[in-house]
Structure 1
Amino acid sequence: MTNITLWIIQGLTALGFIYSGWLKAFQYEKATASWGWVKDLPRGLVAFIGAAELLGAIGVILPEALGIAPILTPVAAAALAVVVLLGAVLHVSRREYRELGVNLVFILLAALVAIGRF
């Protein structure tokens, strides 16, 4: 995979997690309206997931871009893949199978970044 391809994937990954994380961390009402599962989890847990996604999105871009501890980029990507995998498990337990497509896309994106940058 070329460096340019990895940067594109990193950018798409970061944008997706910034959107998702921002809603969960700072716009709880919009998150509740967008995703049915949000109202069934404690608000603090939803905000924590959102904050983790925002930090992960930063970690997918900045360490590699700045050349400061670039090993943190694949670590952040792997951590995001785990967060999404846990979300997929939640969706399966709730029989929300329609949600799994988005989970699979973001697991794939995060995994590609992790593998490409390790």
Structure 2
Amino acid sequence: MNVALWIVAGVLAAVLFASSAKLVIPKEKILAAGGYAAWAEDFSPAALKALGVVDLMGAVGLILPAVLGIAPALVPVAATGVALLFVGAIVVRVRRGLWATAVAEVLYLALAVFVAWGRFGPESFA
């Protein structure tokens, strides 16, 4: 179970790290990517940067506390925050009718809930 939680946390961290590219990519380039990025129309450039920071902090929070052994109890807290982030992403995508990408977000939500459950419960670092 511990190995599965590490793998899932790593996958989520990779997804979040890739998504944090919003920090350096201008809104116009995000919108130019096409239909799946249409959700970015609903946000200002500053809000997109803030979302990029949240993504980056989620990626860091899922991995670094446990790897470094400094406050590893923050991992399930980070996983809970990531789950809330994906709930918001699902809402945005469903409102815009982006059903295909909403399905992926539901999968990521399930993975985040799994990590939070596993690290709060049976495989906690405490």
Alpha-carbon offset, residue 57 of structure 1: 0.4
Alpha-carbon offset, residue 15 of structure 1: 0.2
Match of 2:79 in 1: 77
Larger helix proportion of the pair:
1
Match of 2:15 in 1: 16
Of 22, 25, 28, the residue aligned with 1:27 is: 25
Alpha-carbon offset, residue 12 of structure 1: 0.4
SS in structure 1 of the partner of residue 70 of structure 2: coil
Given residue 25 of structure 1, which amino acid in structure 2 is its aligned partner? L
Given residue 116 of structure 1, which amino acid in structure 2 is its aligned partner? G
Q: Give 1 or 2 for the bigger CA radius of gyration.
A: 2
SS in structure 2 of the partner of residue 114 of structure 1: helix
Alpha-carbon offset, residue 31 of structure 1: 2.7
Alpha-carbon offset, residue 30 of structure 1: 4.1
Runs of 4+ aligned residues of structure 1 deviating over 4 Å after TM superposition are none
Where do 5+ consecutive residues of structure 2 fail to align?
Answer: 121-126
Distance 1:43 1:62, change over 3 A: same
Answer with 9-18 or 40-49: which moved more.
Answer: 40-49
Percent identity of paired positions between Structure 1 and Structure 2: 36
Using the size of structure 1 for normalisation, the TM-score is 0.91
Answer with 28-37 or 92-101: which moved more.
Answer: 28-37
Q: Count how many residue pairs are aligned between Structure 1 and Structure 2.
A: 116
Given residue 6 of structure 1, which amino acid in structure 2 is its aligned partner? L
Distance 1:102 1:64, change over 3 A: same
Match of 2:112 in 1: 110
Residues 47-102 of structure 1 show CA distances to partners (whole Å, capped at 9, x for unaligned) of 10111010110000011111111111111111011011011111122222222111
Distance 1:98 1:75 in 2: 28
